[in-house]
Structure 1
């Protein structure tokens, strides 16, 4: 029992850490493809088509008896989710990363937890008691995360040489400075603006996703529908944007195809599903709190694969971000304990279900399933459903 409880407690953390590794890989291969001339509009279309093709069969099979009835309200929410993430966020982020760099873009996106935290507070999906130590930790962690990201943007300092990067930047230094100056003069500011807007769209996506799953608790189906609608909507945008360049749609068996498949399966299909599950249990702020890890992984991978420089400002900023990340996660973990304690009553099966990832197990009431609600008040309400014997879908 003790080991099982520990494993259930660790699941959300492990899932989010692995997702950040997946996102870091996507940032590297995406920037490499964009630098070689791939259209980000076309990349978004192919990415979501791949995600739809992979996730739809799983949704049709595993949630065939658990999928709620589609309503106009739910459909409009799905349209909003598709517009926020596949269309706006992905296109704007790829545009900004192409104008700056993979490391810089992943660093600037670290304002994501702060933006999501503020949105959740405004919508009363997140609760803060100023006299509570764990609430103060959440606020301090958010501030530290933003401060570290701002430091990385404003202060660069000398280049830090790591064992894997020694000697690889020296012969580029003169030409690299000229290229960086030209990029700063031409599109660096535009890149910053597009990444910030993308971050706001991504935060809104997490908040709306958590809200949608309350009325449509079918993570696989919701993921497939978001990717399908995102394919159609981003396809329309790409047809207009690339109407004079039909060659942009042609990709071969190279890094462009790998980027579309990898980003679609890992960073759209799997990511939407896992984030939806964790968001239902821990809230959207918990999901975004791990994003700073992606910046650190991307910076290291970028220095190895793309030969990007890591400056002293990036190292200091990363250290501050990690401190903020730990503070925010600690505050959220205390929230989870408080919610379980506040539920009272049964401390057996209900408490065990509260720490399980809320995989959709909804069946008609006639099948004998029971539904537990954990948490109340202004905090996030997490629905955890337990099946009758052998009636659930895993």
Structure 2
């Protein structure tokens, strides 16, 4: 096989880089959502109604694309698949998002995004339980995934438990306002932490179930549309129970509309689809391993937009988290290369050709086993093409 042309080589590089670019881009999207959602809830928007409107927008945006683009490849809907979609819609749109919004309201946007760093570890454990990930202590890339996940958790713990002195990157007049917010948040710190833990477990379970569902229903856009639609229905039911008064449902041209529109398009519609595509190719652990980046982006945006204080512990934790993330991604990339090598070696082993003879299976149409005819190899080299 000759060398690849520059265009072919560039196309190959871009193809391999797509999962990485998609996941990094999503972290910027999530970081923006955390900040915008925090602003809208400070202006009095209910987290339950925000989650409902978010999936109304996502359904309106994604459903037409799913209907048109996947009309020929969309599998038939069955009751077991529909029940999985109902559970998926509860795990992420209802359980995860509402618990996360409440936890973030009781703490801070930066603290909430830092807690998301537990997501790779929880997903990794669940993936091992359900045999989506295999660990071989004799292979370096397999150990790298485990060690990298542990490093990520350590970084999250450092950022959460150790504050240290305040690093004032941006001097602003919003410090007094933030101090008042922190004092009220401290009263609900334990409650907020418990809610954030529950949201992480729901999100991890969503990734695992999504991985299994895609094997039965391999249409990412259609699955995304169904999850958004059922999430809208379930969120609406929860909102009607939890929120009293129709005035809470009013949305104007303000941060409430921006939060619902942005999070619905970017963090529900696009995110569910992109994660589904990457999960089918790389698995749920690869998808969640990029979540620590979101904390760093959110911390920077929180300092600029919400005037949140950045502590030394946050910076040290961020450095540790990035190190763990790099270790996990390196392990996953080596794992992919090794699997490709194994496939090629297995394919070569299946060729029934030896130096001395080649075997031809002759089926004479009788129910007896096929006869094997050994033909001595010629002294001249011969081509296997066409055999």
TM-score bracket, normalised by the shorter chain, equals 0.7 to 0.9
> What TM-score do the two structures reach when normalised by structure 1?
0.84
In 2: Cα distance, 1:178 partner to 1:250 partner: 28
Alignment-derived partner of residue 154 in structure 1: 161
Alignment-derived partner of residue 372 in structure 2: none
Residue from 7, 18, 21 that aligns with 2:14: 7
Superposition deviation, residue 223 in structure 1: 0.1
Compared CA separation, residues 106 and 216, structure 1 to 2 (3 A): same
Alignment-derived partner of residue 222 in structure 2: 221
In 2: Cα distance, 1:231 partner to 1:179 partner: 31
Alignment-derived partner of residue 184 in structure 1: 186
Alignment-derived partner of residue 350 in structure 2: none
Alignment-derived partner of residue 324 in structure 1: 324
In 1: Cα distance, 2:346 partner to 2:71 partner: 31
Alignment-derived partner of residue 203 in structure 2: 202
In 2: Cα distance, 1:330 partner to 1:53 partner: 38
Superposition deviation, residue 301 in structure 1: 0.6
> What TM-score do the two structures reach when normalised by structure 2?
0.86
**Is the contact made by 1:24 and 1:294 (CA closer than 8 Å) also made in structure 2?**
yes
Superposition deviation, residue 169 in structure 1: 5.0
Q: CA deviation digits over 1:52-102, x for unaligned, max 9?
A: 000000000000000001111111110110000001001000111111111
**Is the contact made by 2:108 and 2:185 (CA closer than 8 Å) also made in structure 1?**
no
Residue from 68, 72, 85 that aligns with 2:75: 68
In 2: Cα distance, 1:200 partner to 1:339 partner: 30
In 2: Cα distance, 1:64 partner to 1:181 partner: 53
Residue from 80, 90, 93 that aligns with 1:83: 90
- Pairs within 5 Å for 1:49-68: 49-68=56-75
- Pairs within 5 Å for 1:19-30: 19-30=26-37
The CA RMSD measured in Å over matched residues stands at: 1.4
**Is the contact made by 2:145 and 2:327 (CA closer than 8 Å) also made in structure 1?**
yes
In 1: Cα distance, 2:102 partner to 2:240 partner: 17
Structure 1's consecutive aligned runs of 4 or more residues displaced over 3 angstroms after TM superposition are 167-170, 175-179
Q: How many residues align?
A: 340
In 2: Cα distance, 1:93 partner to 1:139 partner: 26
In 2: Cα distance, 1:16 partner to 1:155 partner: 28
In 2: Cα distance, 1:218 partner to 1:345 partner: 31
Q: CA deviation digits over 1:127-158, x for unaligned, max 9?
A: 11011111111111101111111111111011
State the structure with more CA Rg.
Answer: 2
Superposition deviation, residue 184 in structure 1: 1.3
5+ long unaligned stretches in structure 2: 1-7, 348-387
**Is the contact made by 1:139 and 1:328 (CA closer than 8 Å) also made in structure 2?**
yes
Q: CA deviation digits over 1:203-226, x for unaligned, max 9?
A: 000111111001100000000000
In 1: Cα distance, 2:290 partner to 2:76 partner: 33
1:40 maps to 2:42: no
Residue from 171, 176, 179 that aligns with 1:166: 171
Superposition deviation, residue 337 in structure 1: 1.1
**Is the contact made by 2:172 and 2:307 (CA closer than 8 Å) also made in structure 1?**
no
**Is the contact made by 1:169 and 1:309 (CA closer than 8 Å) also made in structure 2?**
no
Alignment-derived partner of residue 353 in structure 2: none
Superposition deviation, residue 177 in structure 1: 4.4
SS of aligned partner of 1:70: coil
**Is the contact made by 2:178 and 2:307 (CA closer than 8 Å) also made in structure 1?**
no
- Pairs within 5 Å for 1:107-126: 107-126=114-133
SS of aligned partner of 2:135: coil
In 1: Cα distance, 2:245 partner to 2:101 partner: 19
Superposition deviation, residue 181 in structure 1: 3.4
Compared CA separation, residues 346 and 67, structure 1 to 2 (3 A): farther
